[in-house]
Amino acid sequence: MKKLLSIIVLGLLYCNVSYSKIVFRAECENPNGVRFSESILHLQNDRLLTGEYEKDKFSGDDYIELIYDNSKPNQIQFIWGTDNRIENLSARTEKFYHWGFIKENLADGFYYGHWSLSIPNKTLTYYKGNTRSDGISTAISNGMFSSKCKIKK
C-alpha cells in the first residue's frame, strides 16, 4: 500500500497540469487580393513579359480560423478548410501577430508567404510569392491578399 501511495504521490509531483485561456479567436473571410508576375524568356533573346496586376481570390468559401491561447505564447493555431496546424509566430504584440515561411523550390528559387493579423483593424493579410530560374525563363510573382475578421475574446 505504501508503494502504491508513493507511486501516486510521485506521479502527481511530475504531472504538470496547466490550464490555458484562449486570448482570442478570429474568424476571417476567404482572402481576396491582387497578384503580379514578371518573366524573362531566355529562349526568346531575354524577352521581358510583364504582367499586370490581376484580381485574385483563393478558391472555395472556407473561412480561416485563428486561435491564440496563453499556454503557447509564441504559437497560433491556423485552421483553413481541412488544414489545421500550429504556426510559430515571428513577432507579436497584444495587437499584432505575424508568421510566415521561406522554402526553396526545385527551380533554383524560393516560395515565400507571410501572414499578419491586426486585432484593432480586424484584418488578416497574406503576402505570398515565388522566384524561379529554370534555364528557359527567370520569373518572380507575388500576391497580396486580405480578409476581414470577427474577433472573439
What pLDDT, on the 0 to 100 scale, is given for residue 5? 55
Percent of the chain with pLDDT over 70: 88
- Give the mean model confidence (pLDDT) for residues 133-145: 92
pLDDT band at 10 (very low <50, low <70, confident <90, very high): low
Residue 16 DSSP label: -
pLDDT band at 3 (very low <50, low <70, confident <90, very high): low
What pLDDT, on the 0 to 100 scale, is given for residue 131? 95
What digits encode the pLDDT tens for the residues 75-122?
999 999 999 999 999 999 999 999 999 999 988 999 999 999 999 999
**Chain-wide mean pLDDT for the chain?**
89
What pLDDT, on the 0 to 100 scale, is given for residue 20? 80
- Give the mean model confidence (pLDDT) for residues 43-49: 91
3-class secondary structure per residue, 79-108: EECCEEEEEECCEECCCEEEEEEEEECCCC
Checking if the pLDDT of 54 tops 60, the result is yes
Domains of the chain, by residue range, sit at 19-152
The phi and psi torsions of 75 (rounded to 5 degrees) equal -140, 155
Q: Give per-residue burial for 92-118: e unless 16+ CB within 10 Å, then b.
A: beeeebbbbeeeeeebebeebbebbbb
